[in-house]
């Protein structure tokens, strides 16, 4: 409406869903404008199935749409157009931008045309408003569904903001569903190599408990991570190794975790993408001190971490605010120990309590219960999947593995926790159909890969 008919529009597209939106926009704009589509990367690497479909559609419109693949950074020059449309990433930003995306943003900013961003300007973290390296400076941002949390901290990159409804009721955001699995889906290209999908370190186990850290590790593997290290005292590590030959076990000296083990763990903290601590650790005085020191160390490294089970009890002795992306997974009594607050009322009232405490800690809290409550202090969601058969020991350890696995792939704690709670609950529901209340945590692990695939293919419906 703002641009005269016949003007030149350059749409710069990425390889994911936001790029797919750009292809759709090109199709419609080509009726009244001279449209150019620039794909940053190779079309063989387009990740989204919907984007592939729309890419193929515009291949048949080359008489009205000029299309160019920018497979190399050297091909990216300032764009000569009246309108520059950013369809590179949207909310898909994970970490600082690298070439060729950073080069594209630099050239887009240098270009003279009116600049429009689809959903979120590339380079802007939609949750925090932080700028990851280069950021696209839009004159107009057309954001999908609603304003993003981080927009208040990124105003100079947004320009005017228009909210475009797409028919999603606000109530739908309250509950977990297959869409959360989609948000934690990391496509695996043909040229993927070891390390691209994350390394996890699980720190747990003691003389008494050897199964818990193994279940967490197996849960992480079921999400598709590349490698899981399990660090446990010598008395437990041999048993843990027997659970799966895929584990890399780290034998910690002694029968329980103590301060003496921190030096031994340090090299592994430098290798991994996320850390889960707590399953089966115990709460001896020396272990509590070591866990708190580990939390501080991981937090200082800004390494994503999940704190569960006995590590929650250790953290409760010295509650503090986090800097690193962090998930806490208490049940109601552990939550009370952490915060001094009893979770009461209907699910929304409980959600408000959890949200306030999550904001204080600058962490995501996944409160386990009949209805799981997930909050990062800004967003709150509820998970209704699962059943009473999941009270059996170990299902929470599997949940921790799923969540820390997604975090290792680069997904934020809230997204990882929402998807993890949904997947774990659906797995429990599937086992219940077969075995009733005779559930084992290992039964859940066997279900996880298919549940993820079914959620991505639309075979699972939301349970509310």
pLDDT in tens, 290-337: 999 999 999 999 999 999 999 999 999 999 999 999 999 999 999 999
Where a domain ends, among 142, 168, 194? 168
Where a domain ends, among 126, 147, 168? 168
Task: List pLDDT tens digits, range 151-186.
Answer: 988 999 999 999 988 777 766 779 999 989 988 988
Q: What is the CATH number of the domain that holds 407?
A: 3.40.1190.20
Give pLDDT, residue 378. 93
Question: pLDDT band at 464, cuts 50/70/90?
Answer: very low
How far is the C-alpha of 425 from the C-alpha of 287, rounded, in Å? 31
Look at residue 226 and tell me whether its pLDDT is greater than 70: yes
Look at residue 463 and tell me whether its pLDDT is greater than 60: no
Where a domain ends, among 112, 134, 168? 168
Q: State the helix-helix crossing angle for 262-269 and 285-300, rounded to 10 degrees.
A: 30
Residue 3 domain-assigned (yes or no): no
Q: Are residues 86 and 218 in the same domain?
A: no
Q: Is the pTM of this model over 0.85?
A: no
Q: Are residues 128 and 189 in the same domain?
A: no
How far is the C-alpha of 94 from the C-alpha of 89, rounded, in Å? 10
What integer is the mean pLDDT of 350-370? 97
Q: Are residues 93 and 195 in the same domain?
A: no
Q: Are residues 110 and 208 in the same domain?
A: no
Strand, coil or helix: what is 443?
helix
Residue 58 domain-assigned (yes or no): yes
Instruction: Say which residues have a Cβ less than 8 Å from residue 66's Cβ, sequence separation at least 6.
Output: 34, 35, 36, 37
Among candidates 236, 217, 156, 225, which has minimal Cα distance to 197? Answer: 225
Residue 147 domain-assigned (yes or no): yes
Give pLDDT, residue 21. 94
How far is the C-alpha of 383 from the C-alpha of 372, rounded, in Å? 5
Q: What is the CATH number of the domain that holds 62?
A: 3.40.50.10260
Look at residue 357 and tell me whether its pLDDT is greater than 60: yes
Residue 461 domain-assigned (yes or no): no
Q: Are residues 140 and 182 in the same domain?
A: no
Domain count for the chain, please give it: 2
Q: Are residues 234 and 150 in the same domain?
A: no
Q: Are residues 276 and 416 in the same domain?
A: yes
Cβ-count burial of 110 within 10 angstroms (0-12 exposed, 13-18 middle, 19+ buried)?
exposed
Q: Are residues 185 and 158 in the same domain?
A: no
How far is the C-alpha of 270 from the C-alpha of 284, rounded, in Å? 27
Instruction: Say which residues have a Cβ less than 8 Å from residue 70's Cβ, sequence separation at least 6.
Output: 38, 39, 40, 41, 76, 100, 104
Domain boundaries, position 49: 8-168
Q: Are residues 100 and 230 in the same domain?
A: no
Task: List pLDDT tens digits, range 66-114.
Answer: 999 999 889 999 999 999 999 999 886 777 888 999 999 999 999 999 9
Residue 195 domain-assigned (yes or no): yes
Residue 445 domain-assigned (yes or no): yes
Q: Cα torsion for 58, 62, 65, 71, to the nearest 10°? A: 80
**What is the H or E stretch that residue 118 is in?**
strand 114-118
Cα 17 to Cα 24, 48, 87, 394, 456, distances in angstroms: 11, 6, 9, 36, 14
Residue 2 domain-assigned (yes or no): no
Look at residue 462 and tell me whether its pLDDT is greater than 60: no
Residue 67 domain-assigned (yes or no): yes
């Amino acid at each position: 409406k703002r641009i005269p008919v016949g003007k030149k529009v350059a749409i710069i597209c990425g390889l994911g869903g936001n790029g797919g939106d750009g292809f759709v926009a090109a199709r419609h704009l080509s009726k009244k404008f001279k449209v150019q589509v620039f794909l940053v990367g190779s079309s063989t690497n387009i990740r989204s199935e919907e984007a592939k479909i729309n890419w193929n559609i515009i291949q048949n419109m080359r008489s009205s749409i000029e299309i160019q693949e920018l497979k190399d950074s050297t091909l990216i020059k300032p764009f000569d157009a009246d309108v520059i449309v950013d369809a590179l990433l949207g909310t898909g930003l994970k970490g600082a931008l690298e070439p060729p995306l950073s080069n594209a943003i630099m050239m887009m900013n240098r270009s003279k045309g009116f600049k429009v961003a689809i959903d979120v300007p590339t380079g802007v973290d939609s949750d925090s408003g932080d700028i990851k390296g280069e950021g696209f400076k839009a004159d107009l941002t057309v954001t999908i569904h609603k304003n993003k949390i981080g927009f208040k901290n990124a105003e100079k990159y947004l320009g005017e903001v228009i909210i475009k409804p797409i028919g999603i009721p606000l109530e739908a955001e309250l509950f977990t569903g297959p869409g959360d699995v989609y948000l934690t889906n990391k496509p695996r290209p043909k040229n993927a190599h070891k390390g691209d999908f994350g390394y996890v370190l699980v720190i747990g186990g003691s003389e008494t408990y050897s199964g818990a850290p193994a279940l967490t590790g197996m849960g992480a593997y079921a999400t598709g991570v590349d490698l899981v290290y399990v660090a446990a005292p010598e008395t437990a590590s041999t048993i843990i190794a027997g659970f799966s030959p895929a584990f890399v076990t780290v034998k910690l000296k002694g029968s329980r975790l103590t301060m003496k083990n921190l030096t031994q763990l340090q090299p592994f903290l430098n290798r991994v993408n996320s850390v889960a601590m707590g399953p089966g650790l115990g709460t001896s005085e020396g272990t509590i001190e070591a866990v708190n020191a580990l939390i501080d160390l991981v937090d200082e490294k800004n390494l994503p971490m999940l704190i569960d089970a006995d590590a929650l009890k250790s953290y409760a002795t010295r509650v503090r605010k986090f800097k690193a992306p962090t998930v806490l997974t208490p049940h109601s009594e552990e939550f009370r120990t952490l915060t001094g607050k009893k979770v009461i009322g209907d699910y929304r009232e409980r959600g408000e309590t959890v949200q306030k405490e999550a904001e204080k800690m600058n962490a995501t809290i996944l409160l386990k219960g009949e209805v799981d409550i997930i909050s990062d202090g800004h967003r709150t969601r509820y998970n209704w999947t699962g059943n009473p058969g999941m009270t059996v020991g170990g299902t929470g350890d599997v949940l921790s593995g799923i969540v820390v696995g997604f975090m290792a792939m680069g997904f934020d704690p809230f997204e990882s926790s929402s998807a993890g709670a949904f997947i774990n609950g659906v797995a429990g529901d599937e086992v219940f159909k077969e075995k009733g209340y005779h559930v084992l945590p290992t039964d859940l692990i066997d279900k996880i890969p298919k549940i993820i695939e079914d959620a991505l293919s639309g075979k699972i419906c939301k349970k509310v």
